[in-house]
Chain A
């Protein structure tokens, strides 16, 4: 199980790609999916690498990303 999960709100994403560039671990990429406005939306290309750091969420201009982090087990994250 990865440390983090990024949920993309498809209809808010405008496919600007700023999150793809900002992610320190190369987790995100463009999917082959388009939303109803015609924007090509991002997805987790390498979900296993996600640490849940939320840098992508910070730089997303459209507040399209929701980040979840695995709850610490036994005191370690």
Chain B
């Protein structure tokens, strides 16, 4: 990209694509928060200078092509098994930095057991949990995290808790365990929240480098396509509704 030619002398680059991201364009839909979260992970890898020894575990879901978007090594796990795969890699090669990047359908539905047990064992890994309250990739079916009353393709009249259960609060559940070190819930719907989410992701990676144990950053994300909203409406929906059910902030932080 011949950017330099367009910028006159006397200007310095203050923001751009992190080195840990490749030139491959994301396959996420327009305005989807997955793109921001992926960039924040790449920025953390850049800032800590760990690109050459980082291994990501890609999920099944819209982030399945993460290995193409990022320049670190990757293993693509079977649906929901990312924390189990991460456990194996980290135990075999403790000098590597191992993270998982998972949606709520992956981490909080089919992969609930793997997630809870990795957290309970206090595995020294970093988990990035992208909660958009829906199965994005497969066409917008209800997830365990879907809000009461929320319409999805499998709850066309809205989620009825008596029939479909209540939103599953994974971070609150994990924070009750003795195993995990750092459990936090963040969002990326505006600039201040992105700055905070960036700090949280950085801390979750630092914890691993310091051998502190299991860190999970839940990020309230959007799925404009399956929520049938514009990206702007979707961001406001997170700010006004999703955060009511899933309050932001640190749930556990062992120093």
Contacts and interface: CB of A to CB of B under 8 A. Distances in A.
B191 interface: yes
Given A14-B31, A17-B231, A22-B191, A57 B11 contact: no
Interface stretch (B20-28, B93-101, B116-124, B245-253): B20-28
B191 A68 contact: no
B31 to A, nearest CB: 3
B12 to A, nearest CB: 5
B31 A16 contact: yes
Interface size class of B (residues with CB under 8 A): 20 to 34
B31 A18 contact: yes
A59 B190 contact: yes
Contact of A15 (B30, B39, B194): B30
Nearest to A62: B35
Among B8, B13, B30, max chain A CB count under 10 A is at: B30
Contacts of A60: 35-36
A60 B18 CA distance: 13
Interface in B1-40: 1, 3, 6-8, 10-18, 21, 25-26, 28-36, 39
A63 B11 contact: no
Contact of A63 (B6, B10, B39): B39
Interface string A1-38: 10001010101101111100110000000000000000
B43 to A, nearest CB: 10
B16 A71 contact: no
Interface in A57-72: 57-63, 65-71
Nearest to B39: A63
Contacts of A59: 36, 190-191, 194
Contact of B11 (A16, A18, A68): A68
Contacts of B29: 14
A60 B25 CA distance: 13
Contact of A61 (B1, B11, B28, B190): B28
Nearest to A10: B1
10 contacts: A7-B3, A16-B31, A17-B231, A18-B232, A61-B26, A61-B28, A62-B30, A63-B17, A63-B21, A65-B16
Interface of A: 1, 5, 7, 9, 11-12, 14-18, 21-22, 39, 52, 54-55, 57-63, 65-71
Given A5-B8, A17-B231, A68-B7, 18 more contacts: A1-B10, A5-B6, A5-B7, A7-B6, A9-B3, A14-B30, A15-B30, A16-B231, A22-B191, A52-B14, A59-B36, A61-B26, A61-B31, A61-B34, A63-B21, A63-B26, A68-B11, A68-B13
